[in-house]
């Protein structure tokens, strides 16, 4: 997979950079030896110090050399959270997001907020790639699965987010449409879904600021007053991701919930983990690096701190 194949890959705001002195065959041999010794620290050191494109090359070299799949070989010697973390590191980015979406819909009850995090933070192009990988991995259609897990206006919002397309609009007209949708006895969901999933974020920033001026209330107050349940949660997350996605993701990290911390840090490590770290520090008064130390230990902590990269 080439490094330009996806807008999920490579931003200068990532913490994980390409390893300069990179020899995939040497890495594959070192991983093979580390697996035989059950040397977790060596596995962590290699996998967290390569970027995703390099990890894919190492996995290919490992496969050629040993006739084994790297993920399968890791599963044999690892367990628990460290296993999950290292497996996420060796997945292509679209596969990781597909897996996180699947996990959010698994079992009893849906993890709505993880669905929203991915659908709101990712571009249309990325989501199309994720949907294609999802079909490949699970033999299921992502849109149909999302519809089956959700209902009503929330289902309409989720599907619109998956298929978001940017069309031009007039700020003033959009503000009027949103204000009008709140004027009746029952607020109309339609304009909120249509406008918030079909404009670029600069345009929407202006729309939301104008709406606040016009109504004399914050967007959050408007949503609180006029909508409820999952649909309100969905609009709230969407608005936060329009205004500042890194602050939203930093708030998610504050929970220090293992699956969230690992999923967000790995999936944003090459793209925008630096501004997420900066937002985390502003929100909590502590750096992400030192907060990880209070909640995790052993090789899992080493791996997370390596992805985080440094103190702030």
- pLDDT at residue 3 is higher than 60: no
Compute the average pLDDT of residues 5-27. Answer: 79
Rounded CA gap, 113 and 230, in Å? 9
Amino acid 179: pLDDT: 97
Average pLDDT for residues 225-252, to the nearest whole number? 97
**pLDDT of 39 above 70:** yes
CATH architecture of 246-308: Orthogonal Bundle (1.10)
pLDDT score at 107: 79
Looking at residue 219, its pLDDT comes to: 97
Tell the CATH superfamily of the 93-163 domain: Annexin (1.10.220.10)
Domain ranges of the chain: 24-90, 93-163, 171-243, 246-308
Asked if residue 9 has pLDDT above 80, the reply is no
Give the model's confidence band at 116: pLDDT under 50 very low, under 70 low, under 90 confident, else very high.
very high
Band of residue 289 on the pLDDT scale cut at 50, 70, 90: very high
Fold of 24-90: Annexin V; domain 1 (1.10.220)
Region 121-135 average pLDDT: 96
Q: Do 93-163 and 171-243 agree at the fold level?
A: yes
Residue 278, pLDDT score:
97
pLDDT of 1: 33
Check if the beta carbon of residue 104 is closer than 8 Å to that of residue 110: yes
CATH level 3 topology of 171-243? Annexin V; domain 1 (1.10.220)
Cβ atoms 136, 173 nearer than 8 A: no
């Amino acid at each position: 997979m080439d490094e330009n194949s996806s807008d999920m890959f490579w931003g200068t705001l990532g913490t994980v950079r390409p390893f300069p002195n990179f020899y995939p065959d040497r890495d594959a041999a070192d991983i093979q030896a580390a697996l035989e010794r059950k040397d977790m620290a060596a596995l962590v050191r290699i996998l967290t110090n390569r970027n995703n494109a390099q990890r894919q090359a190492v996995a290919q070299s490992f496969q050629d050399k040993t006739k084994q799949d790297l993920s399968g070989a890791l599963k044999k010697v690892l367990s628990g959270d460290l296993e999950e973390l290292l497996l996420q590191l060796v997945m292509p980015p679209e596969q990781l997001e597909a897996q996180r979406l699947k996990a959010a819909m698994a079992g009893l009850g849906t993890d709505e907020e993880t669905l929203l995090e991915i659908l709101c933070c990712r571009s249309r192009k990325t989501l199309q790639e994720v949907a294609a990988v999802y079909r490949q991995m699970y033999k299921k259609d992502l849109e149909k699965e999302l519809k089956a897990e959700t209902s009503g206006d929330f289902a309409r919002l989720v599907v619109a987010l998956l298929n978001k397309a940017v069309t031009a609009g007039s700020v003033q007209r959009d503000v009027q449409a949103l204000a009008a949708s709140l004027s009746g006895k029952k607020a109309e969901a339609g304009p909120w879904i249509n406008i918030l999933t079909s404009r670029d974020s600069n345009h929407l920033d202006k729309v939301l600021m104008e709406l606040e001026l016009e109504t004399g209330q914050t967007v959050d107050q408007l949503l609180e007053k006029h909508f409820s349940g999952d649909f309100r949660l969905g609009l709230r997350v969407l608005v936060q991701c329009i205004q500042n996605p890194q602050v939203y993701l930093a708030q998610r990290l504050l929970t220090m919930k293992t699956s969230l911390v690992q999923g967000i840090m790995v999936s944003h490590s090459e793209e925008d983990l630096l501004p997420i770290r900066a937002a985390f520090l502003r929100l909590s008064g502590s750096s992400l690096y030192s907060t990880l130390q209070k909640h995790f230990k052993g090789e899992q902590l080493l791996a997370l701190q390596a992805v985080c990269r440094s103190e702030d």
